[in-house]
Amino acid sequence: MSFPLLSTVVFAPLLGALLLLAIPNRQNARDGLVRGLALGISLLVFVLTLLVWRAFDGRSADFQLVERVAWIPAFGIEYHVGVDGISLWLIVLTGFLTPLALLSSWIGIEKKVKEFSFFVLALQAGMLGVFVSLDLFLFYIFWDAMLIPMYFLIGIWGYDQRIYAAIKFILYTMAGSVLMLIAIIGLAVLHAQATGQYSFNLLRLYELSIEPRTQLWFFLAFALAFAIKVPLFPFHTWLPDAHVQAPTAGSVILAGVLLKMGTYGLIRFAFPLFPDAALQVAPFLGTLAVIGIVYGALVAMVQPDMKKLVAYSSVSHMGFIVLGICAANVQGMQGAVYQMLNHGVSTGGLFLIVGMLSDRRHTRQIAEYGGLKHVMPKLVAAFLILTLSSIAMPGLNGFVGEFLTLMGAYRWRPVLAAVAATGVILSAVYMLWMFQRVNYGALTNPKNKQLPDLSPREWAAIGPTLVMAVVMGVVPNLFLAPMAPAVDRLVQRLHAQRPALARTAAHDVVGAGRVRRAGKVTAGQVRPLRVEVRPLRVEPSRAALSLEP
């Protein structure tokens, strides 16, 4: 395209944020102007993301709307951006949630409104930059740059322990990022050794032949950075603190978009760059994901704080996404990408609801509520739809993503899929129990008797999430079809070249009991196992390594 649409999408919120700084500091008239201008800029960016969707050809697996300009030629660094069927929806999701986050803070944020709006828009620019970057150096710049706005959003506009939560958030993320930076530089050096030129071009690095042991170390460096961002058990401890202490807008963006950067990084970078190492380590990552699913659900059950309960539910739900990625087949990958969108809509909506209750009562303790359906029937109805969406009720968005994820996981590791399926039951337990305690029963607390129902502004914030929860549950192919070619190509790339995987795969097959031994093994006798690795057959609907004894 002649018009740089992707660059416009990425830098429009940043330019809008700089425009906000030019507004004079006259308190009386400033806040309303700042809020309106910030909301208008975020809506404009959302429209631009829809234009990206419209310009996107869903039949192609290639990167589209590509923009490529030399930046630091001596080291092969370029401004290189593009979009495929996987990143497309995350771009749209970012544009969709940011205006809702700003609407949610219309009353709750009373101090330094201009600065708050500036950081929200700057954060949006960083997130969009991560999803479109095709140069690893550019990706790392956006990856680290987005940490700064979130740090200030938590540290300035958060609750009592906001400084602790903000420092913990940035230290965890930076620790993993440093290792990833080392691996990125290592990839550029390997490319120079192979071709005589440095390059951070992701598409060129995909084709780089890397020795298996080096692959493993590089994969672990990338995977650690992304596992912290997901967050994957046991790297999850920063998330509940960040969610509880962040303002409502920060929680919406953190749950809706920032966590997806970890899973997106696994899909876009860690797995396709190091396929042999990725498939070797995948069973271990899948096991951690399943532990996170069950652990997050069990801990959520005992939380007295609604916001902390939803935060631990994120730990559980993100485990499903990682499990689908580790399955490395079409169903698992599609389910993982779809579940990223689902989680952004449903959990973002739940944080909006909790924020609305907190603005009214200035408490998030479940015990302080009860019987809200008698005074706030509209809010309770929205709360119910989002709760059912979160627990994967058929007909709503969560069901499609979890079903595809579990289907892909079952084809890969039936035992892991079976254990992960218990997370669906547990999520129904803690979410419905929380919903019942907050909204049903007698209205015993006199402070709840005069609470107002949803205002028009609040309807504007929560309504789009309700609509998307239904649309994504009823017509999922609207979203699955454009991502299918990119997912198929990704799976084929993962299974195309395996110089080091054959022995590991055979060992995994033996451990799972899927290889028939040649003869009977008696007590005290172990016969050598003979395994023939046949040529790989990859189909779009069934990408798996075929092993026969």
Listed as ranges, residues in the chain with pLDDT below 70 are 1, 25-30, 497-549
Give the span between the Cα atoms of 442 and 426, in whole angstroms: 26
Enumerate residues 6+ apart whose C-beta is below 8 A from 462. Answer: 100, 349, 352, 353, 356, 382, 454
287: its two tokens: 């096991």
Per-domain residue ranges of the chain: 5-496, 501-548
68: which strand partners? 80
Give the span between the Cα atoms of 310 and 316, in whole angstroms: 10
- Compute φ and ψ for 149, nearest 5 degrees: -60, -40
Entry pTM: 0.85
Q: pLDDT per residue over 525-542, tens digit each?
A: 434 334 344 444 444 443
- Look at residue 532 in the predicted model and tell me its pLDDT: 44
Give the span between the Cα atoms of 316 and 194, in whole angstroms: 42
Q: pLDDT per residue over 178-201, tens digit each?
A: 889 999 999 999 999 888 889 999
- Look at residue 66 in the predicted model and tell me its pLDDT: 92
Give the span between the Cα atoms of 344 and 253, in whole angstroms: 8
Vertex 497: Cα angle to 496 and 498 (nearest 5): 125
CA torsion, ordered 136, 76, 202, 224, to nearest 10 deg: -30
- Look at residue 497 in the predicted model and tell me its pLDDT: 57
**Whether the Cβ atoms of residue 498 and residue 276 lie closer than 8 Å to each other:** yes
CA torsion, ordered 466, 153, 83, 236, to nearest 10 deg: -80
